[in-house]
């Protein structure tokens, strides 16, 4: 295979993932048949199968870059943070990972229980959720402080993952809204 074929295949795969992510977000994963994805791309199903063996393979292609990056971040993170500043830095880095992969975040934002996801993906997401919640805590926190830390992590994840469903503040840009949310979280962490 030549370099142009390889780059062409990569570009085509990326286009498939982009279109599939939009369709999954609009219709739900279960309600998006491969034939619809192929149709939107003006492909035959055979052409689609050349790039992906199944709809689950497409879902994996969408989510793996983000899940792999989170795995790496969590692998490089200490068991616990010694102070609120290090915890804050982790939360910002984690949120930036989410923000850097909008395609995966759009699919993760699909409503419902995520029971439609393959078990291996669900397992990774659950481990990420559990581990990031653990990392929101620092040694010696009271029960009340632990609840606040969990709520703050939820606020951050919801702000990023479920951004489309939040209320709009007239005249406020997405960037400014994120700054307000980060200021709120940071101020709350320092209490």
Q: What is the pLDDT of residues 9-47, one digit of tens each?
A: 889 999 999 999 999 999 999 999 999 999 999 999 999
Cα separation, 124 vs 82, in Å, equals 26
pLDDT tens, position by position, 81-99: 877 788 888 888 888 898 8
191/16: higher pLDDT? 16
Mean pLDDT (the chain, rounded): 86
- For the stretch 81-97, what's the b/e string if a residue is b when 16 or more beta carbons lie within 10 angstroms of its beta carbon? beeeeebbebbeebbeb
pLDDT for position 16: 96
Q: What is the pTM of this model?
A: 0.82
The tokens for 116 are 């439609």
Instruction: Show the DSSP H helices in 42-118 as ranges.
Output: 45-51, 55-75, 84-100, 102-108
pLDDT at residue 125 greater than cutoff 80: yes
pLDDT for position 109: 85
Query: Does the CA dihedral 39-45-46-50 come out positive or negative?
Result: positive
Angle at CA of residue 108, ends 41 and 174, nearest 5°: 95
């Amino acid at each position: 295979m030549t370099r142009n074929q390889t780059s062409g295949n990569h570009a085509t795969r990326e286009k498939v993932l982009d279109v599939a992510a939009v369709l999954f977000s609009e219709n739900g994963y279960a309600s998006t048949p491969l034939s619809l994805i192929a149709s939107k791309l003006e492909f035959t199903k055979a052409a689609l199968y050349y790039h992906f063996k199944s709809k689950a393979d497409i879902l994996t292609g969408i989510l793996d870059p983000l899940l792999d990056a989170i795995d790496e971040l969590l692998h490089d993170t200490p068991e616990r943070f010694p102070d609120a500043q290090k915890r804050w830095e982790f939360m910002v880095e984690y949120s930036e990972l989410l923000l850097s992969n909008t395609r995966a975040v759009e699919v993760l934002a699909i409503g419902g229980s995520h029971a439609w996801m393959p078990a291996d993906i669900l397992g990774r997401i659950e481990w990420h959720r559990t581990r990031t919640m653990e990392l929101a805590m620092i040694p010696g926190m009271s029960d009340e402080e632990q609840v606040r830390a969990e709520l703050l992590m939820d606020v951050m994840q919801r702000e990023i993952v479920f951004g489309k469903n939040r209320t709009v503040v007239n005249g406020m840009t997405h960037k400014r809204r994120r700054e307000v949310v980060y200021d709120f979280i940071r101020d709350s962490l320092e209490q």
